[in-house]
Amino acid sequence: MGTGRDANTGNRIDAVLRDEAVGLWPFLAAGYPSLDTTAGMLRAFVKLPIRGVELGFPFSDPIADGPVIQQAFCEALADGIRVKDIFRMVREVRQEVDYALLAMVSASIVYRIGVDRFVGEAASAGFDGLIVPDVSLEEAPELAKCVEGAGLRLSMLIAPTTPPDREKRIAEVASGFLYYVSVQGTTGARQALPADLREHVVELRGGTGLPVVVGFGISTPEHVREVCGVADGAIVGSAIVRRIQQDVGEGKTLEGIVEDLSQFVGELAGG
């Protein structure tokens, strides 16, 4: 289980999107409130009907993340969490976890470490793909080539306002799935999803031939059900991180946080 390739099915992202029903992809801020807690959550998720996990690498100046995730990232960085620590934790947990793992990471981190080195270490640790939300379309092909060479997938973001010609260019670079940003702005829970979500997802999937997983603004089991009725999966981030923040504020132990979050994610997945 050491790389993004499964001996029987190839890349885990490809396998789950090909062979399993649509479902939930929860997001965790790596290292919040501690790396041990993140590892405990990843292990606990094995028992839940999720499709994969998006693991966010803390970054001091995130572009698309709302205040909830920004706060979690800031606290993780203040605690001294670094990229090497996340890779080490994932490498240990991967021996017990068989679902797909994606690294949500800023291009600044990737290029500071070096594309070849970062992608190689991600593959070695057990990641199956990357989401680099702020990589430019001009730089993306080079990154995509390196990612493909390591057996990983590069999921690219597309917004409701992305022009059709740019959508096509993005899809030519992407692999695994397209990450459709359901609403404009930063991440964060919303009361309702956009009325034109279905129309955009259908057009995007039909025009690119790639699976489409939807994120941003999804926060309830009902939202997950609605999204999975048209897309290939739903990503929930801010609502999950907020639940963790509430547990931390209530002084819950590591075990208590993991237990409560597992229940919450299970409810979301049940949607």
Residues 25-62 have pLDDT tens digits of 999 999 999 999 999 999 999 999 999 999 999 998 76
Q: Are 237 and 187 in contact (CB under 8 A)?
A: yes
Q: Is the peptide bond before 33 cis (omega within 30 degrees of 0)?
A: yes
Catalytic residue among 36, 61, 65, 75: 65
Helices (H), the chain: 12-19, 35-44, 67-78, 83-93, 107-113, 115-125, 140-149, 164-173, 197-208, 221-228, 238-249, 254-270
Distance from C-alpha of 162 to C-alpha of 174, rounded to nearest angstrom? 15
Q: Is 54 a catalytic residue?
A: yes
pTM of the model as a whole: 0.92
Question: How confident is residue 137, by pLDDT bands cut at 50, 70 and 90?
Answer: very high
Neighbours of 227 (CB within 10 A): 29
Q: Which pLDDT does position 196 carry in this prediction?
A: 86
- The DSSP annotation for 39-63 comes to HHHHHHGGGS-B-EEEEEPP-SS-S
Q: What is the mean pLDDT of the chain?
A: 92
Q: What percent of the chain shows pLDDT beyond 90?
A: 85
Active-site hit among 19, 36, 54, 139: 54
Task: Read off the tokens for 140.
Answer: 């993306």
For residue 163, the tally of other CB atoms under 10 A from its CB is 8
> Is 267 an active-site residue?
no
High-pLDDT (> 70) share of the chain, %:
92
Q: Is the pLDDT of residue 213 over 50?
A: yes
Give the span between the Cα atoms of 30 and 147, in whole angstroms. Answer: 21
One-letter identity of residue 243 = R
Tell me which CATH code domain 5-154+233-270 carries: 3.20.20.70
Instruction: Report how far Cα 180 is from the mean position of its chain's Cα atoms.
Output: 12
Q: Where are the domains of the chain?
A: 5-154+233-270
Give the Cα-Cα-Cα angle 23, 223, 49 (nearest 5 degrees): 25
pLDDT at 65 over 70: no
